Amino acid sequence: MEKEPEEIIASDYDVIVVGAGPSGCEAALAAARAGAQTLCLSINLDMVGYPTATPVLVDDSDDRRHALLAELDGFGAELPGLLHTDGISGRDGVAGRVLVDRRRLGLAWKEQLESEEGLALRQALVTSLIPGKSGWKLETKLREHFTARAVVVAAGTFLNGRVIDAGETSPGGRWAEIPANYLAKCLQMQDIKLVDIWARTSPRLSSRGIDEKLLGDPRLRRDGEQLGEVLAFTLETDGNRTGQLQALRQNKGLTQAWITRPSYSILHLGLAAEQAGKNLEVIGKPGLFFAGRAAGSCNYTEAAALGFIAGINAAHRAGHGAASQPLSFSNTLVGQLLNRVAHKDIRPVTVRIDDESGC
């Protein structure tokens, strides 16, 4: 039986991006716009571009991520433009803080990927990534095979992800989502050093149980204008649901609070220090790049920055673009971030660009 045109899927690409969070989306768009035939693979297409942990991209008026976003805008990255789309971003009671409606931002990212020329978006779990004769060979759980001259690993918290909730540990890159364990093991078998990284989520509360006067509290952040939920930032709690609720209700103004989503932690693998150069290419592994949290970033703005750079450099490795680093990053926050990914002694998580305290 002859296949319909939409059923014929190419298997050979210039660049393949593994992961489609803010970093993977930025990497895929940058590679495609540099002229590379690009494939972006996501475990769950419903979560494309979705910033899972927090709606906060910039904390306050002193946060240097304002300047980082301005730099990315000048370089041609996608995220700054999306933040100007109606309904996606806004500000709360804290001066200079930038919040996003996470669902709307995810949909905007997905629309950009789906409409970009030279870019294919597919749902797949990558289980194998090994070097080939002219690049890299990938295999998925469904036995699909792809090849690419360059690959960007932007897997977020999914590399051997484990969810720790109320003292119990279960496999998961996010709550109720399967991790990329085989991919992590495959990378380790190639002598790529990965290290454990912790991520902690703040609980979500129903806005109905919170005094309206408290909704301007810096600890309480709206988690999407179309949702009746509030992010209880810095109010992470441990234990079972009853214990978490009791701890939260000890806070002034939260005596009637109700948890819609409890706190939990994720332990996952990310690239160790000294494993990648400033172009985010793994040392000794031509054509293999890491970006986002998998490379050590700890905020979505920084993750997008790393994805953008990795995408550009992956496209160049595949024969597109003018130079290995076609943009100048000297004396920029982007350059500072790249330097820390490559050389920062304090790891596993790359420190934020605005301090030395870690993430």
Does residue 350 have a pLDDT over 60? no
Q: What pLDDT score does 9 carry?
A: 58
Please tell me whether the overall predicted TM-score, pTM, comes out greater than 0.75 for this model: yes
Q: How many helices (H) and strands (E) does the chain have?
A: 8, 18
At 94-110, the pLDDT tens digits run 788 888 999 999 999 99
At 289-317, the pLDDT tens digits run 999 999 988 889 999 999 999 999 999 99
Assign 10 a pLDDT band (cuts: 50, 70, 90): low
Rounded Cα–Cα distance for residues 189 and 210 (Å) = 50
Who has greater pLDDT, 8 or 320? Answer: 320
Q: What are the CA-CA distances from residue 24 to residues 226, 304, 348, 356 (Å)?
A: 26, 8, 20, 26
Q: Which domains does the chain have, with CATH numbers?
A: 12-201+268-343 (3.50.50.60), 205-261 (no CATH)
Average confidence score pLDDT of the chain = 87
In degrees, rounded to 5, the angle at the alpha carbon of residue 23 between the alpha carbons of residues 21 and 28 is 95
Contact at 8 Å (CB) between 290 and 297? Answer: no
At 120-172, the pLDDT tens digits run 999 999 999 999 988 999 999 999 999 999 999 999 999 999 999 888 999 99
